[in-house]
Amino acid sequence: MKLAILGTGFISRFYAESLVAQRRKDELVMVCGRDKERVKQFATDYNIPHYTTDLKEAVSHPEVELVIIGTANYVHLEAVLACAAAKKHVICTKPLGRNAHEALQMLKAVDAAGITGGYLEDLCYTPKFLKSLAAIKGGSIGEVIWAKSRETHPGPHSDWFWDKEKAGGGAMIDLGCHCIEISRNFIGKDIRPVEVMCWADTRMHPIDAEDNAVALVKYANGAIGQFEVSWSFRGGMDLRDEVMGTEGTIWANNFLRTGFEMFSTGKGVNYVAEKAESSSGWLFPVGDEVHELGYNHMFTDMFDSIEKGTQPAETFYDGYIVNAILDAAYKSAKSKQWESVIIEDWRGSNEVKQPHAFASYDENYYLIKEEILPSGEKKTIVKHKQTGSIEKR
Protein backbone atom coordinates (compact mmCIF):
# COMPACT_ATOMS: atom_id res chain seq x y z
CA MET A 1 0.00 0.00 0.00
CA LYS A 2 1.27 3.48 -0.93
CA LEU A 3 1.16 5.81 2.07
CA ALA A 4 1.26 9.54 2.78
CA ILE A 5 2.06 10.79 6.25
CA LEU A 6 0.93 14.21 7.44
CA GLY A 7 3.15 15.69 10.13
CA THR A 8 6.87 15.49 10.87
CA GLY A 9 6.86 15.62 14.67
CA PHE A 10 7.32 13.09 17.44
CA ILE A 11 4.37 10.80 16.69
CA SER A 12 4.96 10.85 12.93
CA ARG A 13 8.51 9.65 13.47
CA PHE A 14 7.23 6.83 15.68
CA TYR A 15 4.84 5.89 12.89
CA ALA A 16 7.58 6.05 10.26
CA GLU A 17 9.90 3.91 12.37
CA SER A 18 7.19 1.26 12.51
CA LEU A 19 6.37 1.50 8.82
CA VAL A 20 9.95 1.12 7.58
CA ALA A 21 10.94 -1.56 10.13
CA GLN A 22 11.11 -5.31 9.54
CA ARG A 23 11.11 -4.89 5.73
CA ARG A 24 7.39 -4.10 5.57
CA LYS A 25 5.81 -4.23 2.11
CA ASP A 26 3.86 -0.98 2.66
CA GLU A 27 5.67 2.08 1.32
CA LEU A 28 5.81 5.72 2.41
CA VAL A 29 5.71 7.77 -0.80
CA MET A 30 4.71 11.21 0.50
CA VAL A 31 5.25 13.33 3.61
CA CYS A 32 3.70 16.70 4.38
CA GLY A 33 4.71 19.21 7.04
CA ARG A 34 4.49 22.92 7.76
CA ASP A 35 8.24 23.59 7.80
CA LYS A 36 9.97 23.05 4.44
CA GLU A 37 13.36 22.14 5.91
CA ARG A 38 11.90 19.73 8.47
CA VAL A 39 9.74 17.97 5.92
CA LYS A 40 12.71 17.67 3.56
CA GLN A 41 14.81 16.16 6.37
CA PHE A 42 11.99 13.75 7.26
CA ALA A 43 11.80 12.61 3.64
CA THR A 44 15.56 12.07 3.57
CA ASP A 45 15.60 10.17 6.86
CA TYR A 46 12.97 7.68 5.70
CA ASN A 47 13.76 7.62 1.97
CA ILE A 48 10.40 9.11 0.98
CA PRO A 49 10.37 10.21 -2.69
CA HIS A 50 7.82 13.06 -2.44
CA TYR A 51 7.39 15.82 0.12
CA THR A 52 5.40 19.05 0.35
CA THR A 53 4.09 21.72 2.69
CA ASP A 54 0.67 21.68 0.99
CA LEU A 55 -1.81 19.36 2.72
CA LYS A 56 -4.19 19.01 -0.23
CA GLU A 57 -1.30 18.35 -2.61
CA ALA A 58 -0.11 15.51 -0.37
CA VAL A 59 -3.55 13.94 -0.03
CA SER A 60 -4.43 14.16 -3.74
CA HIS A 61 -1.08 12.85 -5.03
CA PRO A 62 -1.85 10.08 -7.58
CA GLU A 63 0.44 7.54 -5.93
CA VAL A 64 -1.13 7.90 -2.47
CA GLU A 65 -3.70 5.26 -1.50
CA LEU A 66 -3.93 5.88 2.24
CA VAL A 67 -3.22 8.94 4.40
CA ILE A 68 -1.80 8.77 7.92
CA ILE A 69 -2.57 11.84 10.05
CA GLY A 70 0.11 12.53 12.64
CA THR A 71 -0.51 16.26 12.94
CA ALA A 72 -1.50 18.47 15.86
CA ASN A 73 -5.10 18.05 17.10
CA TYR A 74 -6.34 21.29 15.55
CA VAL A 75 -5.42 20.08 12.04
CA HIS A 76 -7.27 16.73 12.21
CA LEU A 77 -10.64 17.99 10.95
CA GLU A 78 -9.17 19.82 7.98
CA ALA A 79 -7.00 16.83 7.07
CA VAL A 80 -9.83 14.29 7.31
CA LEU A 81 -12.17 16.44 5.21
CA ALA A 82 -9.44 16.70 2.56
CA CYS A 83 -9.07 12.91 2.53
CA ALA A 84 -12.81 12.43 2.23
CA ALA A 85 -12.95 14.88 -0.68
CA ALA A 86 -10.14 12.97 -2.42
CA LYS A 87 -11.73 9.58 -1.59
CA LYS A 88 -8.53 8.43 0.13
CA HIS A 89 -8.62 6.02 3.07
CA VAL A 90 -7.46 7.79 6.22
CA ILE A 91 -6.13 6.73 9.60
CA CYS A 92 -5.76 9.37 12.29
CA THR A 93 -3.78 9.63 15.50
CA LYS A 94 -5.58 10.11 18.80
CA PRO A 95 -7.67 11.99 19.84
CA LEU A 96 -9.83 12.02 16.74
CA GLY A 97 -11.19 15.51 17.46
CA ARG A 98 -10.77 18.25 20.00
CA ASN A 99 -14.37 17.50 20.96
CA ALA A 100 -17.26 15.25 19.93
CA HIS A 101 -18.61 17.81 17.46
CA GLU A 102 -15.39 17.72 15.44
CA ALA A 103 -15.15 13.94 15.71
CA LEU A 104 -18.72 13.48 14.46
CA GLN A 105 -18.00 15.66 11.43
CA MET A 106 -15.04 13.44 10.59
CA LEU A 107 -17.04 10.25 11.10
CA LYS A 108 -19.84 11.50 8.83
CA ALA A 109 -17.32 12.60 6.19
CA VAL A 110 -15.62 9.20 5.87
CA ASP A 111 -18.97 7.39 5.96
CA ALA A 112 -20.34 9.59 3.15
CA ALA A 113 -17.17 9.16 1.07
CA GLY A 114 -17.27 5.38 1.44
CA ILE A 115 -13.69 5.25 2.74
CA THR A 116 -12.15 3.64 5.80
CA GLY A 117 -11.49 5.80 8.84
CA GLY A 118 -9.06 4.07 11.21
CA TYR A 119 -8.41 5.40 14.72
CA LEU A 120 -4.72 5.09 15.64
CA GLU A 121 -5.17 4.14 19.30
CA ASP A 122 -1.85 2.32 19.69
CA LEU A 123 -2.36 1.35 23.34
CA CYS A 124 -5.24 -0.88 22.25
CA TYR A 125 -2.72 -2.90 20.23
CA THR A 126 0.09 -3.51 22.71
CA PRO A 127 1.01 -7.18 23.23
CA LYS A 128 -0.15 -7.12 26.86
CA PHE A 129 -3.43 -5.43 25.95
CA LEU A 130 -4.18 -7.93 23.17
CA LYS A 131 -3.41 -10.84 25.50
CA SER A 132 -5.61 -9.33 28.22
CA LEU A 133 -8.48 -8.67 25.83
CA ALA A 134 -8.34 -12.23 24.48
CA ALA A 135 -8.49 -13.58 28.04
CA ILE A 136 -11.49 -11.38 28.87
CA LYS A 137 -13.35 -12.33 25.70
CA GLY A 138 -12.59 -15.97 26.48
CA GLY A 139 -14.34 -15.63 29.84
CA SER A 140 -11.21 -16.02 31.98
CA ILE A 141 -12.17 -13.29 34.47
CA GLY A 142 -15.95 -13.48 34.12
CA GLU A 143 -18.03 -10.33 33.81
CA VAL A 144 -15.92 -7.16 33.92
CA ILE A 145 -17.26 -4.85 36.61
CA TRP A 146 -14.36 -2.38 36.91
CA ALA A 147 -11.60 -1.35 34.49
CA LYS A 148 -8.91 1.13 35.44
CA SER A 149 -6.25 2.67 33.19
CA ARG A 150 -3.46 5.05 34.16
CA GLU A 151 -1.14 7.15 32.01
CA THR A 152 1.12 9.68 33.64
CA HIS A 153 4.37 11.37 32.60
CA PRO A 154 6.20 14.74 32.87
CA GLY A 155 4.29 16.29 29.96
CA PRO A 156 4.16 16.26 26.14
CA HIS A 157 6.91 17.22 23.71
CA SER A 158 5.38 19.86 21.42
CA ASP A 159 4.34 23.40 22.30
CA TRP A 160 0.82 23.11 20.84
CA PHE A 161 -0.11 20.40 23.38
CA TRP A 162 0.09 23.05 26.11
CA ASP A 163 -2.29 25.40 24.25
CA LYS A 164 -5.85 24.61 25.36
CA GLU A 165 -7.44 25.87 22.14
CA LYS A 166 -5.09 24.05 19.77
CA ALA A 167 -5.18 20.77 21.70
CA GLY A 168 -8.79 20.86 22.88
CA GLY A 169 -7.79 20.49 26.52
CA GLY A 170 -4.89 19.26 28.60
CA ALA A 171 -3.89 15.94 30.11
CA MET A 172 -7.38 14.47 29.65
CA ILE A 173 -7.58 15.01 25.89
CA ASP A 174 -3.95 13.89 25.54
CA LEU A 175 -3.86 10.87 27.86
CA GLY A 176 -7.43 10.22 28.96
CA CYS A 177 -8.39 9.30 25.39
CA HIS A 178 -6.04 6.28 25.66
CA CYS A 179 -7.42 5.23 29.03
CA ILE A 180 -11.06 5.55 28.03
CA GLU A 181 -10.68 3.38 24.94
CA ILE A 182 -8.71 0.75 26.86
CA SER A 183 -11.53 0.49 29.41
CA ARG A 184 -14.20 0.45 26.68
CA ASN A 185 -12.54 -2.58 25.12
CA PHE A 186 -12.34 -4.42 28.43
CA ILE A 187 -15.92 -3.59 29.48
CA GLY A 188 -17.35 -4.08 25.98
CA LYS A 189 -17.68 -1.55 23.17
CA ASP A 190 -21.31 -2.53 22.67
CA ILE A 191 -22.15 -1.28 26.18
CA ARG A 192 -23.18 2.36 26.32
CA PRO A 193 -21.28 4.85 28.50
CA VAL A 194 -23.90 6.85 30.35
CA GLU A 195 -22.35 9.20 32.94
CA VAL A 196 -19.01 10.65 34.02
CA MET A 197 -17.76 12.06 37.32
CA CYS A 198 -14.45 13.90 36.99
CA TRP A 199 -11.96 15.90 39.04
CA ALA A 200 -9.42 17.92 37.08
CA ASP A 201 -7.03 20.66 38.12
CA THR A 202 -3.95 22.59 37.05
CA ARG A 203 -1.44 21.71 39.72
CA MET A 204 2.02 22.42 38.32
CA HIS A 205 2.18 24.28 35.00
CA PRO A 206 1.30 27.90 34.04
CA ILE A 207 -1.33 26.82 31.48
CA ASP A 208 -5.09 27.21 31.04
CA ALA A 209 -5.70 23.47 30.63
CA GLU A 210 -5.69 20.73 33.29
CA ASP A 211 -2.45 18.88 34.00
CA ASN A 212 -3.98 16.27 36.36
CA ALA A 213 -7.32 14.45 36.34
CA VAL A 214 -9.19 11.43 37.69
CA ALA A 215 -12.58 10.27 36.40
CA LEU A 216 -15.18 7.54 36.70
CA VAL A 217 -17.20 6.48 33.65
CA LYS A 218 -20.43 4.61 34.38
CA TYR A 219 -21.69 2.13 31.78
CA ALA A 220 -25.25 0.91 31.15
CA ASN A 221 -24.52 -2.56 32.54
CA GLY A 222 -23.25 -1.13 35.83
CA ALA A 223 -19.55 -1.47 35.03
CA ILE A 224 -17.19 1.37 35.93
CA GLY A 225 -14.27 2.63 33.87
CA GLN A 226 -11.69 4.72 35.69
CA PHE A 227 -8.84 6.83 34.38
CA GLU A 228 -5.94 8.60 36.07
CA VAL A 229 -3.86 11.03 34.01
CA SER A 230 -1.09 13.49 34.79
CA TRP A 231 1.45 15.75 33.13
CA SER A 232 3.16 16.17 36.52
CA PHE A 233 4.33 12.61 37.20
CA ARG A 234 8.10 12.48 37.67
CA GLY A 235 10.29 9.59 36.64
CA GLY A 236 9.23 8.69 33.12
CA MET A 237 6.02 7.37 31.59
CA ASP A 238 3.76 5.13 33.66
CA LEU A 239 1.25 3.03 31.69
CA ARG A 240 -0.79 0.58 33.77
CA ASP A 241 -4.10 -1.21 33.39
CA GLU A 242 -6.19 -3.12 35.95
CA VAL A 243 -9.33 -5.11 35.26
CA MET A 244 -11.55 -6.70 37.90
CA GLY A 245 -14.06 -9.37 36.91
CA THR A 246 -16.39 -11.71 38.75
CA GLU A 247 -13.98 -14.61 38.16
CA GLY A 248 -10.56 -12.97 38.10
CA THR A 249 -8.28 -9.95 37.86
CA ILE A 250 -5.72 -8.61 35.38
CA TRP A 251 -2.82 -6.28 36.20
CA ALA A 252 -0.68 -5.03 33.32
CA ASN A 253 2.36 -2.75 33.50
CA ASN A 254 2.98 -1.65 29.92
CA PHE A 255 5.93 0.74 30.40
CA LEU A 256 8.35 2.02 33.04
CA ARG A 257 8.65 -1.02 35.37
CA THR A 258 8.45 -4.01 33.03
CA GLY A 259 11.41 -6.11 34.22
CA PHE A 260 14.18 -4.32 32.26
CA GLU A 261 16.35 -2.24 34.60
CA MET A 262 19.80 -0.72 34.13
CA PHE A 263 22.15 1.41 36.25
CA SER A 264 24.39 4.09 34.71
CA THR A 265 26.58 6.89 36.05
CA GLY A 266 25.33 8.95 33.13
CA LYS A 267 28.32 8.44 30.88
CA GLY A 268 27.32 8.15 27.26
CA VAL A 269 24.35 9.55 25.37
CA ASN A 270 22.14 6.48 25.02
CA TYR A 271 18.40 6.98 24.64
CA VAL A 272 16.52 5.31 27.50
CA ALA A 273 12.79 5.46 26.72
CA GLU A 274 10.04 7.92 25.85
CA LYS A 275 9.54 10.56 28.58
CA ALA A 276 12.57 9.32 30.56
CA GLU A 277 13.81 12.26 32.63
CA SER A 278 17.35 11.09 33.29
CA SER A 279 20.15 9.00 31.80
CA SER A 280 21.84 8.32 35.13
CA GLY A 281 21.01 6.20 38.17
CA TRP A 282 18.64 3.27 37.94
CA LEU A 283 16.96 3.40 34.54
CA PHE A 284 14.04 1.54 32.99
CA PRO A 285 14.73 1.09 29.27
CA VAL A 286 12.18 -0.36 26.86
CA GLY A 287 13.52 -3.02 24.52
CA ASP A 288 11.46 -2.13 21.44
CA GLU A 289 9.18 0.83 21.99
CA VAL A 290 7.50 0.61 18.60
CA HIS A 291 6.48 -2.98 19.35
CA GLU A 292 5.70 -2.54 23.05
CA LEU A 293 3.48 0.48 22.33
CA GLY A 294 1.48 -1.46 19.76
CA TYR A 295 2.40 0.33 16.52
CA ASN A 296 3.27 -2.83 14.56
CA HIS A 297 0.02 -4.61 15.42
CA MET A 298 -1.94 -1.39 14.87
CA PHE A 299 -0.72 -0.74 11.33
CA THR A 300 -1.05 -4.40 10.37
CA ASP A 301 -4.70 -4.36 11.48
CA MET A 302 -5.38 -1.09 9.64
CA PHE A 303 -3.81 -2.15 6.34
CA ASP A 304 -5.21 -5.69 6.42
CA SER A 305 -8.71 -4.35 7.06
CA ILE A 306 -8.55 -1.91 4.16
CA GLU A 307 -7.29 -4.61 1.80
CA LYS A 308 -10.07 -7.00 2.90
CA GLY A 309 -12.79 -4.36 2.91
CA THR A 310 -13.49 -4.83 6.62
CA GLN A 311 -13.37 -2.47 9.60
CA PRO A 312 -10.26 -2.30 11.80
CA ALA A 313 -10.49 -2.93 15.54
CA GLU A 314 -10.32 0.83 16.15
CA THR A 315 -12.39 3.08 13.90
CA PHE A 316 -13.44 6.71 13.62
CA TYR A 317 -16.64 5.69 15.42
CA ASP A 318 -14.55 4.62 18.42
CA GLY A 319 -12.75 7.95 18.29
CA TYR A 320 -16.10 9.75 18.31
CA ILE A 321 -17.33 7.83 21.38
CA VAL A 322 -14.07 8.63 23.21
CA ASN A 323 -14.53 12.32 22.43
CA ALA A 324 -18.13 12.18 23.69
CA ILE A 325 -16.96 10.69 27.00
CA LEU A 326 -14.24 13.33 27.27
CA ASP A 327 -16.78 16.10 26.66
CA ALA A 328 -18.79 14.79 29.62
CA ALA A 329 -15.61 14.59 31.72
CA TYR A 330 -14.75 18.23 31.03
CA LYS A 331 -18.30 19.25 31.86
CA SER A 332 -18.21 17.26 35.11
CA ALA A 333 -14.87 18.79 36.10
CA LYS A 334 -16.61 22.17 36.05
CA SER A 335 -19.95 21.21 37.56
CA LYS A 336 -18.53 18.80 40.19
CA GLN A 337 -21.45 16.47 39.39
CA TRP A 338 -22.18 13.35 37.35
CA GLU A 339 -22.71 14.46 33.75
CA SER A 340 -24.45 12.51 30.97
CA VAL A 341 -22.50 11.28 27.96
CA ILE A 342 -24.20 12.78 24.88
CA ILE A 343 -23.94 10.44 21.88
CA GLU A 344 -25.82 11.54 18.76
CA ASP A 345 -25.04 8.37 16.79
CA TRP A 346 -25.03 5.35 19.13
CA ARG A 347 -24.47 2.08 17.26
CA GLY A 348 -24.23 -0.35 20.17
CA SER A 349 -26.70 -2.12 22.43
CA ASN A 350 -29.50 -0.25 24.18
CA GLU A 351 -29.86 -2.78 26.98
CA VAL A 352 -29.66 -1.44 30.52
CA LYS A 353 -28.30 -2.99 33.68
CA GLN A 354 -29.83 -6.34 34.53
CA PRO A 355 -30.10 -7.83 38.06
CA HIS A 356 -26.98 -9.85 38.81
CA ALA A 357 -27.44 -13.64 39.06
CA PHE A 358 -25.91 -14.41 42.46
CA ALA A 359 -24.18 -17.72 43.08
CA SER A 360 -26.18 -20.21 45.14
CA TYR A 361 -24.78 -22.18 48.05
CA ASP A 362 -27.83 -24.45 48.06
CA GLU A 363 -31.56 -24.05 47.41
CA ASN A 364 -32.00 -21.82 50.47
CA TYR A 365 -28.81 -19.76 50.57
CA TYR A 366 -26.68 -17.51 48.38
CA LEU A 367 -22.92 -17.94 48.63
CA ILE A 368 -21.14 -14.76 49.74
CA LYS A 369 -17.59 -16.02 50.33
CA GLU A 370 -15.45 -19.07 50.98
CA GLU A 371 -11.90 -18.93 52.36
CA ILE A 372 -9.23 -20.91 54.20
CA LEU A 373 -8.05 -19.27 57.45
CA PRO A 374 -4.42 -19.41 58.70
CA SER A 375 -5.50 -22.12 61.14
CA GLY A 376 -6.56 -24.32 58.24
CA GLU A 377 -10.24 -23.88 59.04
CA LYS A 378 -12.53 -23.40 56.04
CA LYS A 379 -15.04 -20.59 56.49
CA THR A 380 -18.15 -20.13 54.35
CA ILE A 381 -20.43 -17.08 54.57
CA VAL A 382 -23.95 -17.35 53.17
CA LYS A 383 -27.15 -15.30 52.93
CA HIS A 384 -30.65 -16.77 53.29
CA LYS A 385 -32.65 -16.19 50.11
CA GLN A 386 -35.89 -15.47 51.93
CA THR A 387 -35.02 -13.84 55.27
CA GLY A 388 -31.84 -12.08 54.18
CA SER A 389 -29.94 -13.25 57.26
CA ILE A 390 -26.16 -13.60 56.83
CA GLU A 391 -24.64 -16.67 58.46
CA LYS A 392 -21.35 -18.51 58.84
CA ARG A 393 -20.96 -22.17 57.98
Residues 6-15, mean pLDDT to the nearest whole number: 94
Summarised one tens digit per residue, pLDDT across range 130-159 is 999 999 999 999 999 999 999 999 999 899
pLDDT bracket for residue 96 (50, 70, 90): very high
> Is the model's pLDDT at 306 over the cut of 90?
yes
Q: Do residues 100 and 129 both lie within one domain? A: no
The CA-based dihedral angle spanning residues 60, 65, 70, 73, taken in that order and rounded to the nearest 10 degrees:
60
- Please report whether residue 32 resides in a domain: yes
If you average pLDDT over residues 283-297, what whole number do you get?
Answer: 87
388: left (phi over 0), alpha (psi -120 to 50) or beta: left
Tally of domains in the chain: 3
Please tell me the distance from the alpha carbon of residue 301 to that of residue 124, in angstroms, as a whole number: 11
CA distance 201 to 214: 9
Does residue 106 sit in the same domain as residue 135?
no
Residues 156 and 131 in one domain: yes
Same domain, 101 and 128: no
pLDDT of residue 73: 97
Answer yes or no: do 108 and 136 share one domain: no
Find the CATH number of the domain harbouring 73: 3.40.50.720
Please tell me the predicted confidence (pLDDT) of residue 269.
65
Question: Of 9-13, 38-42, 261-265, where does mean pLDDT reach its minimum?
Answer: 261-265
pLDDT given at position 343: 98
- As a whole number of angstroms, the distance between CA 218 and CA 202 comes to 25
Asked whether residue 35 falls in the same domain as residue 74, the answer is yes
Same domain, 96 and 240: no
Regarding whether 200 and 214 lie in a shared domain, the answer is yes
pLDDT value for 288: 84
pLDDT one-digit tens code per residue, 226-283: 999 999 999 889 999 999 999 999 999 998 888 888 888 888 767 788 778 888 888 8
Domain of 86?
2-123
Between 52 and 18, name the one with better pLDDT: 52
pLDDT tens per residue across span 55-66: 999 999 999 999
